[in-house]
Amino acid sequence: MLSDEEKRELKTLASSAALREDCEMLRRASREAARTCSVDDYLAFLKMLNRMLRVKRPARPLPVYANVRL
């Protein structure tokens, strides 16, 4: 839950015209970027993000099959 002070701060921010203008500017900028972004750019971004956030998993031993038929 939020404290009374945090609730007052959120109400003050909600009534701020400057904050609304800033949020609208960010919204417009993101829409513009979405229109100009190509599929290749998006895939390159996803590849880079995958490399940055990849978690190295410990190597698992391969299973040993006693009876394998081809």
pLDDT digits (tens, 9 = 90+) for 24-55: 888 888 888 777 778 898 899 889 888 888 77
Q: How high is the mean pLDDT of the chain?
A: 85
pTM listed for this prediction? 0.40
Amino acid at 25: M
Sign of CA dihedral 31, 37, 38, 39: negative
pLDDT-above-70 percentage for the chain: 100
Tell how far CA 68 is from the center of its chain: 44
